[in-house]
Amino acid sequence: MPNRSRARGFSLVELVIVIVIIGVIAAIAIPRMSRGAKGASESALIGNLAVLRNAIELYATEHDNVYPGAKEDGDGGAAKSAAAMISQLTKYSSEAGAVSDTKDATHPYGPYLRKGIPPAPVGVNKGKDTVLIDDTNSPPAVNTAGGEGWVYNPSTGDIIVNTDVNNDAGTKAYNLY
């Protein structure tokens, strides 16, 4: 008897069936994964805004209802500035709002944010942890020209993400959160 070895392999029909099955799975999975990533960014935005707003409100509660950045900067000079707001939230502060790196009898308050300003998780300024001061509009108005991640009004304590082009899955603008 001749020893015939039969060629082993897949038929063309079997290969086509496998490719079709992989295509169907990819068509189902890829849109679900991309929605999950967008949902994660929206959740991060909600969480970051909650952290920022809580820190701002706690600061105001301990400083006679004066919001950070509204009165003085870290050197005791009058200034409505992002640097003053960030210093007052991330360092120890006096009742008047002057800041210090160390807690002592004259600087008993804070810090309200231990890791600094969180970066904006969505929009054209995604990843930016900088703040733009807008003390004329309440709520603050978006101004993406400078590239800051957040817009803050030190007179009212309102803070929003600095983007006007991206919407969440429900078509609500991120700057309206």
* Model pLDDT for residues 109-167, shown as the tens digit of each residue: 989 998 899 999 988 889 999 999 988 888 888 888 888 999 999 999 999 999 876 67
Longest dimension (CA), the chain: 104
The segment with the largest mean pLDDT, out of 6-10, 38-42, 126-130, is 126-130
What are the distances in angstroms from CA 145 to CA 2, 14, 139, 176?
82, 56, 18, 19
User: DSSP secondary structure string, the chain?
Assistant: ---PPPPP---HHHHHHHHHHHHHHHHHHHHHHHHHHHHHHHHHHHHHHHHHHHHHHHHHHHTTT--TTSSB-TTS-B---HHHHHHHHHSEE-TTS-EESS-BTTB-B--S-SS-SPPP-SSTTTT---EEE--SSSSPPP-GGG--SEEEETTTTEEEES-SS-B-TTS-BGGG-
pLDDT of 6 over the 70 cut: no
Which has more confidence, 60 or 74? 60
43 and 37 Cβ atoms separated by less than 8 Å: no
* Rg of the chain on CA atoms, in Å: 26
pLDDT of residue 72: 52
pLDDT of residue 78: 44
pLDDT 10s digits, 61-114: 999 999 998 865 444 444 568 888 999 999 999 988 889 999 999 999 989 998
